A and B are shown apart, each in its own frame.
Chain A
Amino acid sequence: MATFVKTLFAVVLALAMVSAAGCGSDEGRSTRGGKPAAPTTQTSAIRIGLVPERDIYSLRGSYLKLAAYLSGKLDQPVEVVTLNTYQNILLDFEEKSVDAAFLGSLVAVLAMDRYGAGVALKPEQPDGTSTYRGLIVVREDSPIRSFDDLRGRSLAVLRATYAGALFPVWLMSNHNMLERPGTPTLVAVGTHDEGIEAVLNGRADAAAVKDLRLYAYQREHPQSRFRVIEQCAPVPNNALVLRKDVDKALETRLVAALKSMEKDPQARPALEALGAARFVECRPEEYAPIFRMTREIGPSWELVGTGGPVPTTRPSGGR
């Protein structure tokens, strides 16, 4: 009887150890979102931030596919961290809760300016597009023909974005529409698509939107007609920005893995989900239009809605 009890105890102990080992091995292998972690080492998960600009569910799903691919390729867990505001992603950079992030152009500039982050790669679409422009659009049947016609009218803006906030503020600044009677009423929207719809349903006379989203919207709604009255210089679209102090070896491996995706058949589903054909190099100089605009608008920077000081860094040298 005593022998049996001892054997049973040994079996239970062995099972417990195996279970503990199994649980341990599961940790850190996840490619899903999670809580902020300690700064990255070679063995811990790589955390990539994401700020959705449209349908959060499908966008996150696309980046989860990319994370799953990278996890396999790097033999290291890759997690996607979804944030609801651009301020929060900057906070994650500050707190080192993310190692990298796919960022809109304005926030990429802020990350570079405030936290010394470096821009590495940007996705290129099958048609060769890797940049986007900000547009000021009105309905096709609108009497508004130029930006000056917007005096006393309403303009839908999307805070903390280059196309949706910085560009219209810069335009208003250039057209002396900021501190005079007749300044357009700014209608805050949550996404570029909401800005487009605000114009269509008359909530706003014009909207400051990203051209890629407008074209996508027009493909989905061919009956909608718009007139573009202003457009700005192109800047990189959703580039991968890496934290300043991220491990250099990891950075090299991550960038190499992303760049080699176009040649890897296994990477095709992830690339297709992102609507990209490949990842190409991205240089800080490509953000020059943003740096120029932020410099030119001066104190009106507050209207852009990102909070914090105006970016002062000059775009120079890529990572």
Chain B
Amino acid sequence: MGTGGHGRAGADHATVRGAVAVLRRKLLLILGSLVALLLLTAVGAIWMLQSILGELHHINTESWAIIQRSNELATTISAMEIELYKLATGKERHLDNLVEAVEQMRAHVAAVEKSYVTRLPENEEVLAGIRRQLPAFAENVAALATAQDPQWERRHHTAALANAVGLRQDIMLLTRNVREHGEKEHASLTSHFRWLLLTLTIVFLVVINISIFVLLRMAAMIVRPVEKLVEATRQLGQEHFDYRVEVQQKDEFDQLARAYNNLAGQLQANEQRKLEMLGQVALTLNHELNNAIAIIELQLQLLSRQAGGNTRVETCAREIHESLARMTRTVESLKRVRRIVLTDYIGGVKMLDLARSVE
């Protein structure tokens, strides 16, 4: 019987430890999920914002780089026109500045061509014009450089000037198109950015609300059964072994409640066994003492008759009778004991608080 009780207690203890570990894991999982959700939302928001900012930066750098290149192209064309003028008027006979300007022009156009902005439909024709004019211009400059015939030189000079004017027009058009495109894209991205901010705000609000709801649920899931278990422990402390915990949820707290109920049941059974034993002791005492008391009572009655009015003897007999009645009541009380309530006696020894034990 005792071994079975110990085994059950050990199993309950293991159950409690297991339940606590599972509960800890569950809490960690829920909290981890919440943290992960928040982190994912934050990362997603940062990624989207970064993407928009990246596009804005891309547009800014690309557009302004092209506009800057276009301005440099226009400056280079001006320089070329000046050089052509100087050559035509004999103010210059060296071609180096002109050749360098053409090479710069080629480099600028090559750089401009690499930009996606120039591949837009509205720029295709303009770029085609530049691609057509630039080699023609370079060829005319080259011919101008090698022409030894004045007529031949004049012809290429005029053609080069015409090409320069054409290039200037195309570049101005390209600059205008790029600027307009940049402004459009900028406006579109700004609008996109605004909507993204709004969406992210809503998403964050939803996530925060979900987090709060989950945390509240989690708190309720924990606090309610914990309160019940605390109350049960208090009852157990007051030796109310018949108190039982009822947990509606099927989880680790349910296991804890069952473990508690098992413990309370065991304590209640032990108490019951003690009471039964006390009842048996009371019956034995009742049986043995009642016989002795009956004999003492008979002897007292005989002694009272023989006293012949002696008051002292009668007083003694009455006190003995009352003590016997008290003993009888005590034995009767022992038979009615419902629980064991101890009280201090002397020298640290405890004795049964009979009055409270029969309540």
Contact = CB atoms under 8 A, between A and B. Distances in A.
A158 B99 CA distance: 22
B287 interface: no
Interface residues of B, dominant DSSP: helix
A259 B97 CA distance: 30
Contact of B96 (A32, A86, A91, A158): A32
A52 B146 contact: yes
Interface string A27-39: 0000011111000
Interface stretch (B31-39, B58-66, B148-156, B192-200): B148-156
B149 A190 contact: yes
Contacts of B226: none
A190 B147 contact: yes
A191 B146 contact: yes
A92 B142 CA distance: 20
A56 B141 contact: yes
Given A33-B99, A33-B100, A81-B96, A86 B142 contact: no
Contacts of B147: 84-85, 190
A80 interface: yes
A57 B98 CA distance: 11
Nearest to A82: B95
Interface residues of B, number: 24
Contact of B149 (A52, A53, A54, A159): A159
Interface residues of A, number: 31
Contacts, number: 81
Contact of A33 (B97, B102, B138): B97
Interface in A66-109: 80-86, 88, 91-92
B105 to A, nearest CB: 11
Contacts of A91: 93
A274 to B, nearest CB: 17
- Greatest chain A CB density within 10 A among B96, B138, B143 is at B96
B142 A82 contact: no
A161 B148 contact: yes
A111 interface: no
A56 B99 CA distance: 8
Contact of A32 (B93, B100, B152, B153): B100
A188 B154 CA distance: 13
A34 B142 contact: no
A53 B143 CA distance: 10
Contacts of A35: 94
Interface of A: 32-36, 52-57, 60, 80-86, 88, 91-92, 158-161, 188-191, 305
Interface of B: 87, 93-97, 99-100, 102-103, 138, 141-149, 151-153, 156
11 contacts: A55-B142, A56-B145, A82-B94, A84-B93, A84-B147, A85-B153, A88-B93, A92-B93, A189-B149, A190-B149, A190-B152
